[in-house]
Structure 1
Amino acid sequence: MGHFSSMFNGLARTFSIKRVKNNNGNSDAKEAADDMAKDAKKKELILKSSGYVNAQGSNNSASIFSKRGEKGVNQDCALVWEGFGCQEDMIFCGIFDGHGPWGHYVSKHVRNSMPSSLLCNWQNILAQATLDLEGSNKKLSRFDIWKQSYLKTCATVDQELEHHRKIDAYYSGSTSLTIVRQGDVIYVANVGDSRAVLATVSDEESLVAVQLTLDFKPNLPQEEERILGCQGRVFCLEDEPGVHRVWQPDAKTPGLAMSRAFGDYCIKDYGLVSVPEVTQRHISTKDHFIILASDGIWDVISNQEAVEIVSSTAERPKAAKRLVEQAVRAWKKKRRGISMDDMSVVCLFLHSSSSSSLSQHATTFK
């Protein structure tokens, strides 16, 4: 109990500046979270473009790279926030993959809204849980707090997007794959078909890939059951065998190749949801790094290949870019005649360079 109380008290001091002025509850917490984001951006702790983040004294570092495919504007985007919520032991990472005519606007809106909203909800739920447990012997679960925070955040972001005056998300949407590292635990929240893969040392002392997320495709049994139960349809087109898509009951639209996403309100009544799957994992010294990538990478690169590409990159800042470059080569070789997808990668390194075989140089890709 003492650990969580001190955690809350430290965060509460940061939020209290806004609450001294008035007592508007959630609106104040949201404003404070937005101010934290602005301050972090000034201190170069938030990265939204291709580059590298490594705060002084932090065990975390992250490499980002995004490349436009051959289908038009790049609808992928990413974000890393080191020192998330002014907490030295926290980092937030995310990959957001848009689709549809307004997909690039949707993905950027989700990217920009989610971190502050998540921080606000985490603060409020943590505060309430701390108050509820005062004087009791119940064990406070950090996972339950993060899960509730993510569920509330995703519902809020999707609702805001539906009523956005400048973004038409009726036939457009975005996936979202995010990770929060807090000390020696990571919390993963997945909406869609981007994927997180962990590189860890096996009992045989080799570096192996462990997939941390499910690709939420419409033909997964639990996903298809929900869609069919809501009168939606799931089938492949004749010229795309093996590519299962979600369709409205009486029309050949929209043909969405994932079962969870923000936006896409044309089929929200027919089984598509924006509910995240939230999981946790305790980090050990055997865990080296985590790769977050949009589906364009995984269409042509296996989990193990991705781990080997990143681990063999001498400089951490170049890791994400090198993985994308290898995927571009694989697209040209394996998927000739098919327009290359947008591809984005975040490589989150879990230990300082002094305890890793990968060298580290702070640099930014232009």
Structure 2
Amino acid sequence: MMFFPSFLDGLARTVSMKKGKNTSSTEDDIGRQVAETLAKDAKKNDLMLSSSATFKSNKSNNFASICSKRGQKGINQDCTIVWEEFGCQEDMIFCGIFDGHGPWGHIIAKRVKQSVPPSLLCNWQKALALTSLGQELNTEPNRSTRNHQFDIWKQSCLKTYADIDQELKHHPGIDSFHSGTTALTIVKQGEHLVIANVGDSRAVLATISDDGNLIPFQLTIDFKPNIPEEAERIRQSQGRVSCLRDEPGVYRVWMPKGDAPGLAVSRAIGDHCVRVWANFSA
């Protein structure tokens, strides 16, 4: 695996500052600036695809295609992105899909699409820097190297989603109270896939059978309110899960009283109106 030393060295110097100084904002600023610069370079070098199109890499046999089509309900609120050589790592590819909902759904989906890749890259590199300095992450003891690498990705994804959700909540120009988005991201690192999923966007892996036919294999769970564990979690916080009369079988999340918001997913980024009452999770 290849790392860019200047980034790691900068983070290492920041993390090792004397106690008493508030270094968290400095770390985030350095990492985010570098990650955003890498994203801009990826666009210039045709390593990033974020609209309906197809590209073939000049450096490898990778082939990527994106297609998004507006439905019957109005504006297209879907956003997608593919970033080859994610973070200057030749063996890494980042893929993401974000399906907005609500009046501001298309804006939130676009914002999250732009924020997740550099934020995830920053958090991942910072976790690697901490590990290189001998600081243990919150992982189980006696974990194998492969599992330890997964733990780093897991915590990086959790922090990324949580940070972006809070950024939306306090953003003065975006109303995420009654709007939100799903977020499905995949990082392919060598032969491994790291998947983070919030909402009901779906990742499907196509495998080839012995007779040459494609066989779909679903990699993610659709987080819907009718899943027993999800419904129980929501109801324990006084939220309601039920269907509309004209939509039998389509379960939605409601506040304790009233007819809002009627979300067809049990997890999302945004939708802060139901966070307390329905234990709605990012």
TM-score, normalization by structure 2? 0.88
Q: 8 Å contact 1:259–1:271 — kept in the other structure?
A: no
Question: What's the CA shift for 1:243?
Answer: 0.1
Aligned to 1:179: 186
Q: Does the C-alpha gap of structure 1 residues 257 and 212 become closer, same or farther in structure 2, counting only changes over 3 Å? A: same
Unaligned runs of 5+ in 1: 1-5, 275-366
Q: 8 Å contact 1:98–1:173 — kept in the other structure?
A: yes
Matched, 1:272 2:280: yes
Q: 8 Å contact 1:19–1:28 — kept in the other structure?
A: no
Q: Does the C-alpha gap of structure 1 residues 251 and 29 become closer, same or farther in structure 2, counting only changes over 3 Å? A: same
Q: Does the C-alpha gap of structure 1 residues 20 and 36 become closer, same or farther in structure 2, counting only changes over 3 Å? A: farther
Cα deviation, 1:24-70, whole Å, max 9, x if unaligned, reads 32210111101111111111111111112332222432100111112
Candidates 116, 122, 145, aligned match of 1:120: 122
Q: 8 Å contact 1:236–1:243 — kept in the other structure?
A: yes
Specify which structure has the bigger relative contact order, considering alpha-carbon pairs within 8 angstroms and separated by 6 or more residues: 1
Candidates 45, 48, 51, aligned match of 2:47: 45
**Partners of 1:165 and 1:133 in 2: CA distance:** 36
Question: What's the CA shift for 1:148?
Answer: 0.5
Cα deviation, 1:44-97, whole Å, max 9, x if unaligned, reads 111111112332222432100111112111111111111100111111011110
Matched, 1:11 2:19: no
Q: Does the C-alpha gap of structure 1 residues 131 and 100 become closer, same or farther in structure 2, counting only changes over 3 Å? A: same
**Partners of 1:114 and 1:268 in 2: CA distance:** 21
Q: Does the C-alpha gap of structure 1 residues 226 and 198 become closer, same or farther in structure 2, counting only changes over 3 Å? A: same
Question: What's the CA shift for 1:14?
Answer: 4.6
SS of corresponding position for 1:67:
coil
Question: What's the CA shift for 1:13?
Answer: 3.3
**Partners of 1:155 and 1:252 in 2: CA distance:** 27
Aligned to 2:239: 232
Unaligned runs of 5+ in 2: 18-22
**Partners of 1:251 and 1:30 in 2: CA distance:** 41
Question: What's the CA shift for 1:126?
Answer: 1.5
Counterpart AA for 2:173:
K
Q: 8 Å contact 1:198–1:210 — kept in the other structure?
A: yes
**Partners of 1:179 and 1:61 in 2: CA distance:** 16
**Partners of 1:49 and 1:55 in 2: CA distance:** 16
Q: 8 Å contact 1:216–1:258 — kept in the other structure?
A: yes
Q: Does the C-alpha gap of structure 1 residues 235 and 209 become closer, same or farther in structure 2, counting only changes over 3 Å? A: same
**Partners of 1:123 and 1:77 in 2: CA distance:** 25
**Partners of 1:234 and 1:216 in 2: CA distance:** 13
Runs (4 or more) in structure 1 with deviation over 4 Å come to: 14-23
Which stretch shows the higher mean deviation, 56-65 or 43-52?
56-65
RMSD: 2.3
Cα deviation, 1:244-288, whole Å, max 9, x if unaligned, reads 0000011110000000101101101122111xxxxxxxxxxxxxx
Aligned to 1:198: 205
TM-score, normalization by structure 1? 0.68
Q: How does 1:240-259 map to 2 (within 5 A)?
A: 240-259=247-266
Which stretch shows the higher mean deviation, 11-20 or 157-166?
11-20
**Partners of 2:264 and 2:143 in 1: CA distance:** 43
Q: Tell me the matched-pair count.
A: 266
**Partners of 1:64 and 1:206 in 2: CA distance:** 22
Counterpart AA for 1:245:
R
Aligned to 2:20: none
Q: Does the C-alpha gap of structure 1 residues 126 and 20 become closer, same or farther in structure 2, counting only changes over 3 Å? A: closer
Counterpart AA for 2:245:
E
Question: What's the CA shift for 1:19?
Answer: 8.4
Identity %: 56
Q: 8 Å contact 2:8–2:129 — kept in the other structure?
A: no
Q: 8 Å contact 1:81–1:91 — kept in the other structure?
A: yes
Candidates 57, 61, 64, aligned match of 1:62: 64
